[in-house]
Amino acid sequence: MQQSAVKVPKVTYAAIPQDQLEILHAYYEEAQKQIPQKLGKHYPIAINGQRVAGQGKTIEVRSPIDTDIVVATFNEATSDQVSQAVDAAAEAFKIWGSMNYQERVNILRQAASNFRDNKFELAAVLSVEAGKTRMEALGEVEEAADLISWYCDQMEENHGFVREMRRIIPNENNKSILRPYGVWAVISPFNFPMALSTGMLAGVLASGNTAVFKPASATALSGLEVYRMFEEAGLPSGVLNFVVGSGSTIGEQLSDNPKISGLAFTGSKDVGLHLMRKFSYPYARPCVAEMGGKNPTIVTSKADLSKAVEGIVRSAFGYTGQKCSACSRVYVFSDMYDQLVDKLLERTAKVIVGDPRQREVFMGPLIDERAVNKYLSAVEEASADGKVLFGGHRIQGIGMERGHFVEPCIVADLPQNHRIIKEELFVPLIALVKVDTLEEAVNLANDTEYGLCAGIFSEDRAEIDYFFNHIEAGVVYANRSGGATTGAWPGSQSFVGWKASGSTGKGALGPYYVQQFMREQSRTVVED
């Protein structure tokens, strides 16, 4: 079936066109048939527009669905190759950084089109490499395309960020101009290997910088596909370079390189803070970092429980809880607690776990064995210190024997200072907590070093306003059954982390993101 033969509906994380699902499934299934041609091959890195073999140790990427499936192999970039990539980006900046912003935007809009034109093929890669379900994978590719388009819109709407300023004397001309820094290191995580990397790269490139891009090793093939979409859009050589390797080696090499002018990072709090500290020497350089969350949802006495249950389940167990925005804590008013628990257990029992390439599956595997062990350890702690109400086991049934599959898990009766309440786990586990007032719920929700996402379910506008005004989080939702704390979209919801969840107070997907990759220059010309 040709994609051009019929209008293909758009998928987002919070909105799936139910009346057109068959079209989506048909295209996706056709793309999955072609995926074996990509698997098991040895892939290169890319420096200065050339595909070259990495000269370091071999990395083998295996599917979390079935560890017998070798998705791809790469050789890590050596220290010399990382330096070559930075040098290539620095040389390319001389042209790309001085290019008219509209020329850059035109190239990047072609990259967005490339993502849209190849979305089923790219989604199929995401499923087998990252373990994403069909709709999660399609949504991610759509988000990648929309991120590029949105940042291009920002460049155009702000006329390249050139602004006329007031005159002090009649014959002077004053302007404020935002100009690119130079070379940026872009380090992306496994959980949104296309959308998050593309978003950071789009911000970097649209504003006139060049980049060295390092994806997570677990999803390196997805990273290479991102590079390909930009490469085939016509980027000049050296503007974008692609290297593979461990974060502890290549991340350090990039942050230590004096030619790196800025760092864009998405990942754990500990790694992000470490890179930020390193990146402040010998002088402060910009570091745009998103570092996770411990995202609460509040359910009040005035909530619609049907909305609440659906929103919690979709947010907590979508992509197996491996989202920075995933709901992991639920604060429930005491008079609604038993009702919510009953409905939540009933709905969670309907969550289908399995091979994410199958159309009926809602929850696929965790990314690796380490994540499974983290899940099992958390369940053991919850059982010892509280109660496990649902799930808590590894699944190794037919078709899942060699994968990283676990059950969705609901726990309760843990103390507020418990590790499960405090730490980001990145697994499909939510903790329920009884509260008596909205003030208590908000205070407990805020009792964390994170501040990324938060949600409330209440039909009372006064309660919603109180929540919005007192919650310490950058992305807040009310009554969102499509995802209590998840599902932000470019141009609709800025994705901004407060406290330890972010470094700048300005969010991706929003109207203030792309400016972070530029610095201001004031220009004055006095005319005779």
* Catalytic positions, written as ranges: 290
Q: Evaluate whether 251 touches 187 at the Cβ level (below 8 Å).
A: yes
Token pair in block for residue 289: 């970092």
Distance CA(485)–CA(475), nearest Å, equals: 8
Token pair in block for residue 49: 């527009």
Buried b (16+ CB within 10 A) or exposed e, 363-374: bbbbbbeebbeb
One-letter amino acid of 466: Y
3-state secondary structure 13-54: CCCCCHHHHHHHHHHHHHHHHHHHHCCCEEECEEECCEEECC
Token pair in block for residue 228: 């390909």
Helix (H, G, I), strand (E, B) or coil at 390: strand
User: Which residues lie across from 72 on neighbouring strands?
Assistant: 41, 61
Q: Evaluate whether 307 touches 481 at the Cβ level (below 8 Å).
A: yes
Distance CA(243)–CA(265), nearest Å, equals: 15
Nearest to 53 by CA among 67, 43, 62: 43
Q: What DSSP string runs through 213-254?
A: EE--GGGHHHHHHHHHHHHTTTPPTTSEEE----IIIIIHHH
Q: Work out the burial of residue 157: count CB atoms within 10 Å of its CB; fewer than 13 is exposed, 13-18 middle, 19 or more buried.
A: exposed
Helix (H, G, I), strand (E, B) or coil at 368: coil
Distance CA(254)–CA(485), nearest Å, equals: 33
Token pair in block for residue 461: 């506008």
Distance CA(500)–CA(487), nearest Å, equals: 21
Q: Evaluate whether 447 touches 470 at the Cβ level (below 8 Å).
A: no
Q: How many CB atoms lie within 10 A of CB 80?
A: 10
Distance CA(241)–CA(267), nearest Å, equals: 20
Helix (H) and strand (E) counts in the chain: 15, 24
Peptide bond between residue 282 and the one before it cis (omega within 30 degrees of 0): yes
